[in-house]
Structure 1
């Protein structure tokens, strides 16, 4: 795979809709469940506010972008050129690690069919025919339940595993 143009941070387990939630959804879920420390909640609130002020919310621009019937499996990916936005993700990853929530960073030059795009990000429907296609796992928060030398198919559709 050539240079990755897009980056996504997501959980390693499917949610109720069968999708892999992104890092912000995961941290916001911990907050909603009252699981964050005071410091983690301050970080989350301050950084969520910063993100809201710094880039467009695709759902505000197009209310159907994450509609599961219109765009099944739609997922947001940062453009790798959006450095200022990417630099703040580490704090979210630290919160997830502190709570034992597995997550990973994916990189791809072609993560799927683009259904939304702005200066900072895209929202895509993953390519169904490329379940083990051009998405590369590149960082994972360690977990005692999965060996560090095995990655699951990025789209989790074919169920295949491959050594790193």
Structure 2
């Protein structure tokens, strides 16, 4: 099982619902959030940045300037990461951004994977 956290807004780069890190970054740069909540988002993001491997691909093609349409999914076994993501999404919710948790056994054509996550170009029946 794979798990993805999204908001309802469509990301113009992928054409899919926006992931919560992109949503949190946009919120942190808006005027609609307190400095305390910006810090909460930043602290959580920093933890992920320090502990979660950084995918090296987000597209089907390995060529330069390729369109990045692949989506990140946590493996269901990444329990600590999922718990911390729920803390991150709580801040989003407190600031008016509803999040949804998508689950699937078929995230798509996998272009990157590690022990905690996969990055996959979605199949037609993959929830996005």
Q: Aligned residue for 1:150? A: none
Question: CA offsets, 1:18-74, max 9 Å, x none?
Answer: 22111111111101224321221121121111111111111xxx2x42589745521
Higher RCO (CA 8 Å, separation ≥ 6 residues): 2
- Conserved? CA contact 2:58–2:68, under 8 Å: no
**In the comparison of the two structures, how many residue pairs are matched?**
124
Q: Aligned residue for 1:74? A: 70
Residues 1:22 and 2:19 aligned together: yes
TM-score by length of 1: 0.67
> Which runs of no fewer than 5 residues in structure 2 stay unpaired?
none
Q: Aligned residue for 2:4? A: 8
Query: 1:12 aligns to what SS in structure 2?
Result: strand
Larger Rg belongs to = 1
TM-score by length of 2: 0.84
CA distance in 1, matches of 2:113, 2:52: 12
Distance 1:31 1:10, change over 3 A: same
